[in-house]
A and B are shown apart, each in its own frame.
Chain A
């Protein structure tokens, strides 16, 4: 069965520092996708970044990068130069082509201190 684990319920980071949010996953499917979503206090789910299991390079989107370590089954999100607006819940998620669903981790609440 597929599983996503986020072990950090909450984190506090100083503004402008880099931050790493941890995510480990478990699946027996050879092909899968890993995602990160941001949920601000307003409630909407915002797609941040995607990594395919066959992608050779780590995905990057602006200040977001995904540190994909396939052998360790980890897909950590790195936010460089954090900003106050980065304060939110962050969810790691996984899907596979034929699983027909997306599984979310329990989330990490990130708080950025000025």
Chain B
């Protein structure tokens, strides 16, 4: 158990819908990262938050957004869902100094999103 929790574990929805994925980092970790793992794209970094502020953006679509709340939990919002958004979405956390990333990230169990 990494200490990172993600809910829900599975999510099935229809095209055009909007969903919210939730992540609670390990106790004491200030950074939260979101990743998408799909069969054709592999593991892709989406976005990082550090202590409530966006720190870095990766391959995140404009239909997707995220935020980190004062209690450090984070939510990833996916809207206007398409079939190709079906994937495993991971949240990871770490406790880098100043938001740097030169140390390990601990992953949550993931949310498997299926868009029908």
Listed in ascending order, the chain A residues whose CB lies under 8 Å from chain B are: 31-33, 35, 37, 43-47, 50, 52, 91, 95-104, 106-107
Contacts and interface: CB of A to CB of B under 8 A. Distances in A.
Interface residues of B, number: 25
Given A45-B90, A102-B33, A95 B102 contact: yes
Given A45-B90, A107-B42, A102 B105 contact: yes
A97 B100 CA distance: 5
A7 to B, nearest CB: 14
A32 B88 contact: no
B56 A101 contact: yes
B104 A43 contact: no
Interface string B39-74: 000110100100000011010000000000000000
A42 to B, nearest CB: 8
A100 B92 CA distance: 13
Nearest to A99: B101
B79 to A, nearest CB: 23
Contacts of A96: 101-102
* Closest 9 pairs (CB-CB, A-B): A100-B56, A45-B107, A97-B100, A104-B43, A95-B101, A33-B102, A101-B45, A97-B102, A47-B104
Interface in B1-28: 2
Contacts of A99: 56, 101
A7 B112 CA distance: 27
Contacts of A31: 102
Given A43-B110, A43-B112, A100-B99, A91 B104 contact: no
